[in-house]
């Protein structure tokens, strides 16, 4: 165990490093994987289908397709809707690159619009201004677990005959005006990456209508016209036909076994996240150098991330130095996200400048994501709070 080191004031750092977001895996998930390995069926099969059905019920969706990533889900949604060259898809600069990469993959053009500075999701008024005859879809991102303002986006989609493809990588479980995220847009893609509220290691789920999901299902496994997992079952058939050039995006039963246990545990894990958020909010709301996250009354926030904002005019250091100071106090932190228009590929291809999306650019410079996961003990939470407040006190303007 590392020796404690004194830092500014009376603060003494914790003796071990606190990771930003480790997965919460129990013996139950491990047993489910072992059972799958012993079953003789480890790729896409009965456990994957059971996971799809259970997930549908949980998010109140019509149909679901288990996949190897949320990125695969977004890509399949665009491909299933035949969005491609000459088409435009409106989305946000405040997202991970995968949301925009898939638009490039189908040959369409990403159109970025600036964010609502309060909750950091798409600003519907700016979406309305960006719609052209080439616009085919809107891709809202439910940032940090807070749903985007869906009502005006749905109205715009209906008015202009557009599709809504929701990036819900952060938003399980979440709801908007009483409707569960997963049953609102034409397609909704979820992530089960290692850091997410529900994990399968890698993985994702796509929800939508039975018709749309069936299109995506064919594309998800090489474009074959029958369930490939049944080919080697006692009731399966060796014969298949490729009806579209598809992809290799299927989930395995090993992943689904983990997912089914995690889904059953999700309410318990979410309750712990909410308790951590309550403590953070109570502590950080007292400092004029910090801005706590907003949760609007018409949503249920999934609290995938706890995104603190620095009021930099109250500090003598910038965000990068603040994170280094937390690291010196053995607290892991991150930034979500580097806006899309700052990345070289998109900056150079579309000629975007930092100030083209001023809200996203300004907020990016003061965002810090703090540890938020079910494995945090009360002592861990106290350590995070004390470290953040100590940095603020040491570098107050």
| Banded model confidence at residue 238, pLDDT cuts 50, 70, 90 | confident
- Taking residues 226-246, what's their average pLDDT? 76
| Banded model confidence at residue 226, pLDDT cuts 50, 70, 90 | low
Whether residue 196 lies in the annotated active site: yes
What is the CATH code of the structural domain delimited by 27-262? 3.40.640.10
* Per-residue confidence (pLDDT) for residue 107, from 0 to 100: 98
Of 196, 230, 248, 327, which one is the catalytic site residue? 196
* Per-residue confidence (pLDDT) for residue 229, from 0 to 100: 58
High-pLDDT (> 70) share of the chain, %: 95
List the strands of the sheet with 367-370, edge to edge: 290-291, 306-310, 367-370
Q: Give which of 56, 247, 101, 76 is closest to 165, Cα–Cα.
A: 76
* Per-residue confidence (pLDDT) for residue 237, from 0 to 100: 77
Q: What is the pLDDT of residues 81-137, one digit of tens each?
A: 999 999 999 999 999 999 999 999 999 999 999 999 999 999 999 999 999 999 999
- Taking residues 310-326, what's their average pLDDT? 98
Q: What is the pLDDT of residues 14-41, one digit of tens each?
A: 999 999 999 999 999 999 999 999 999 9
* Per-residue confidence (pLDDT) for residue 4, from 0 to 100: 44
* Per-residue confidence (pLDDT) for residue 1, from 0 to 100: 37
Domain residue ranges in the chain: 27-262, 267-394
Write the class of the CATH domain 267-394: alpha beta
* Per-residue confidence (pLDDT) for residue 5, from 0 to 100: 47
Residue 7: is its pLDDT beyond 70? no
- Rounded to two decimals, the pTM is 0.95
């Amino acid at each position: 165990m590392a020796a404690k080191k004194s830092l500014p004031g009376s603060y003494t750092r914790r003796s071990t490093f606190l990771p930003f977001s480790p997965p919460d895996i129990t013996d139950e998930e491990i047993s489910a994987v072992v059972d799958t390995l012993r079953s003789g069926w480890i790729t896409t099969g009965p456990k994957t289908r059971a996971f799809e059905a259970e997930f549908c019920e949980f998010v109140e969706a019509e149909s679901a397709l288990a996949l190897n990533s949320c990125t695969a889900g977004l890509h399949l949604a665009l491909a299933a809707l035949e969005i491609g060259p000459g088409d435009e898809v409106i989305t946000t600069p405040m997202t991970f690159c995968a949301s925009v990469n898939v638009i490039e993959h189908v040959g369409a053009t990403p159109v970025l619009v600036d964010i609502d500075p309060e909750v950091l999701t798409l600003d519907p008024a700016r979406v309305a201004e960006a719609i052209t005859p080439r616009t085919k879809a809107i891709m809202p991102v439910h940032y940090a677990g807070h749903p985007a303002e869906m009502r005006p986006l749905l109205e715009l989609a209906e008015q202009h005959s557009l599709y809504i493809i929701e990036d819900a990588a952060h938003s399980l479980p979440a709801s908007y005006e009483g409707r569960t995220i997963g049953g609102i847009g034409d397609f909704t893609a979820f992530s089960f990456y290692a850091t997410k509220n529900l994990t399968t290691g890698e993985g994702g789920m796509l929800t939508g209508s039975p018709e749309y999901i069936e299109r995506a299902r064919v594309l998800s496994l090489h474009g074959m016209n029958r369930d490939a997992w049944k080919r080697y079952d006692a009731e399966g058939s060796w014969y298949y036909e490729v009806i579209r050039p598809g992809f290799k995006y299927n989930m395995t039963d090993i992943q689904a076994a983990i997912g089914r246990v995690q889904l059953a545990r999700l309410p318990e894990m979410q309750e712990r996240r909410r308790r951590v958020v309550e403590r953070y909010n109570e502590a950080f709301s007292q400092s004029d150098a910090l801005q706590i996250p907003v949760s609007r009354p018409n949503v249920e926030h999934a609290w995938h991330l706890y995104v603190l904002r620095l009021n930099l005019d109250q500090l003598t250091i910038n965000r990068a130095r603040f994170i280094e100071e937390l690291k010196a106090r053995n607290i892991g932190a991150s930034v979500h996200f580097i806006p899309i228009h700052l990345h070289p590929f998109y900056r150079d291809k579309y000629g975007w400048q930092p100030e083209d999306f001023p809200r996203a650019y300004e907020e990016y410079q003061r965002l810090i994501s703090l540890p938020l996961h079910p494995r945090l003990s009360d002592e861990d939470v106290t350590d995070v709070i004390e470290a953040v407040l100590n940095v603020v006190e040491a570098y107050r303007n």
